Structure 1
């Protein structure tokens, strides 16, 4: 009887630790960065508190399945010459001259709906829509023709001014209970021209404000509430309003779609990389809680051959998501005119599993476990263990994230 009581107490302590760890972890994450809804978090917490691991598993499995499978559809429309194709390529993290890029520099206007898949995120599609002014029916019929209900939001692109057609389209989109965003491209060209004409009095911030104000005047004159206007350059995404546009889209998307959209972001700033890191970390924790806590210390587990294959696949998965895999490095090397071997010398993840001796991996994991516990006060601090997979995921994610930042600094140091 005493043994049964002891086992029961241990089980209760373990479940209580899981509840406290889950609650503390998700409490720290900002609302706009969470990848599961408050209702789902509350349901998981409630089931963990009750010790109902089967129901906890079901709730988390459903949430993860939704994240993996729910489609994200972005509609981009605008007149010919507005830089719409280059903008679509920018959203996909694809150069204009790469394979499967949206074709740029085409004089004729797009007359059909064309979907473009994101190269890394399988459920993210960006749709190139015909400009509303090119078709022979009003905006309301235009939305029916393009099946407006399937899009999460509309981005209306212009390089000069927004026409009455596009403003009327925005009004109808609002009536249809959808979000839209106005994007003004090619502001770098405007600034260059202004600088050439008025070299002595040129003021970049003043010119940008003048562009923004001219649009706001147009909206006021057409009796439309002042929308957010994002001034961008398709070829200099770090500059101007492109990062702010991405932040806005993430905030406005349904919570279950945030994870994959965040993973789709190009590594144009450290903030974008950190967002991908935070989102991936949440996913790892959810996977760990789904599987439940293991009672053994992970570093004492044997690393089998099949484990090594899984570890290699896991590391490669993060390398692809963060753009530090071989294919991504080839593109970066070509664009920066730096040999790929030189780039790899600066990165840790490419040599991480070269030495496959179990003892080496065990030491590496032990060192990371100590760092993880002291930095987070996480599972180890409460005696809670999720098994070696959980910690290797964290280790790989940390290393690949740092590699992405090294590449970012390397790339932009040459500008």
Structure 2
């Protein structure tokens, strides 16, 4: 495989490292970067000074921080607004599945209750009791729900805007926390209007009326209106749910974006692509970190002797993107499509079966003009495999979305 920058001095190597690092992150929008701009500048500074060990150390700490930083999301609002259903939808958990937030026609949340995401262990959704309930009167609410512990609040409403919700929004803003206002059950409102006024039914006009009602409620109470997101817990890909996720990602600190983006349900191809892009950044950073440690010629990497590691990487991507065996069974059950039929339309489970062909595919990938790979560095065959696995799993997730979710 040859020597990396074999004809350059150490200073020239550092300059090449810096140039490639800078170029890569210049091509990523700020709201999608999983490390902060300050961290990027620090790494560039180390590289400019030839401090390879310092740059490697910063990248290692950044990756560790990304993996371990907790994300706490509070979901609150009026009783019966659909808080628990919203949490279950976000977690991809059915209402009757084990570990689901309890859903009912009356207030079912009596105490603040944490719900871990089934795949992203650092992410917790907190189901908070409605303000003004028996155990949580307004005067004690903020103290009892421990306001300061959450990254942001999602206030859920399904009917008229109440004074209690307004007071809660004021308190959250006073504590310098972000909050987002979500109006659920808009699909029910639309269906009711369509049934009662079939000739004059205007979907967009009704949605705008709902939105305007909440905006005006804030203005009438001398408050700047937050962005209002209209959603259906039963149909997340419709209405404003994708826009809500985009806003949350943009507002989160960089080190929390990676796990939050992985948490997004596979409801649109854009959401799946977003997962792919954040995973690409971690693969690239791991590769760059490893490359910085190479002070000797790169040794031939024996891929054929490391199939267990490759298999673990592939299974990890399949798990995160919901195309692993357990996820396929769940999708088959929900969509009433035989699981064997789903397995026939995806490729990732079979990637490692014909290893000889796969090795040739990787050689072609290494020689390609793929923009992600064209950084001036030879990252090692193992990272080409990871990218190939990631791309294949991404496409599998899209195929399953088209065949099941979008068809229903």
TM bucket normalised to smaller: over 0.9
Cα deviation, 1:157-176, whole Å, max 9, x if unaligned, reads 11112210111010011110
Distance 1:59 1:342 in 2: 46
2:384 alignment counterpart: 391
1:142 alignment counterpart: 141
Aligned-residue offset at 1:397: 0.8
Distance 1:239 1:325 in 2: 26
* Of 363, 374, 399, the match for 1:406: 399
Ranges in structure 2 where 5+ consecutive residues have no aligned partner: none
In the TM superposition, 1:15-30 aligns within 5 A as: 15-30=14-29
The 1:101/1:39 distance shift into structure 2, 3 A limit, reads same
Ranges in structure 1 where 5+ consecutive residues have no aligned partner: 1-5
The 1:7/1:350 distance shift into structure 2, 3 A limit, reads closer
Cα deviation, 1:326-380, whole Å, max 9, x if unaligned, reads 1111111111111111111111101101234xx3332121122223x3444613x
2:106 alignment counterpart: 107
1:132 alignment counterpart: 131
CA contact (8 A) 1:185 1:233 kept: yes
Distance 2:361 2:287 in 1: 20
1:3 alignment counterpart: none
Distance 1:234 1:167 in 2: 23
TM-score by length of 1: 0.92
Aligned-residue offset at 1:137: 6.3
Distance 1:370 1:210 in 2: 55
Cα deviation, 1:9-39, whole Å, max 9, x if unaligned, reads 3544443332221111100000110111111
CA contact (8 A) 2:346 2:396 kept: yes
Aligned-residue offset at 1:148: 0.9
SS in 2 for 1:154: strand
CA contact (8 A) 1:21 1:378 kept: no
In the TM superposition, 1:318-397 aligns within 5 A as: 318-356=317-355, 359-371=356-368, 373-376=369-372, 378-379=374-375, 382=376, 384-397=377-390
CA contact (8 A) 2:102 2:109 kept: no
The 1:196/1:35 distance shift into structure 2, 3 A limit, reads same
SS in 2 for 1:77: strand
Distance 2:157 2:250 in 1: 23
Give the RMSD, CA atoms, in angstroms: 1.9
TM-score by length of 2: 0.94
The 1:327/1:111 distance shift into structure 2, 3 A limit, reads same
SS in 2 for 1:225: coil
Distance 1:368 1:8 in 2: 25
The 1:212/1:271 distance shift into structure 2, 3 A limit, reads same
Cα deviation, 1:293-313, whole Å, max 9, x if unaligned, reads 557678x532243x1001000
1:177 alignment counterpart: 176
Distance 2:406 2:152 in 1: 35
CA contact (8 A) 2:84 2:103 kept: yes
Distance 2:316 2:373 in 1: 27
Deviates more, 1:137-146 or 1:124-133: 137-146
Cα deviation, 1:365-406, whole Å, max 9, x if unaligned, reads 1122223x3444613xx3x21212221111111111111111
Aligned-residue offset at 1:271: 1.1
SS in 2 for 1:181: strand
CA contact (8 A) 1:53 1:292 kept: no
Aligned-residue offset at 1:120: 0.6
In the TM superposition, 1:31-70 aligns within 5 A as: 31-70=30-69
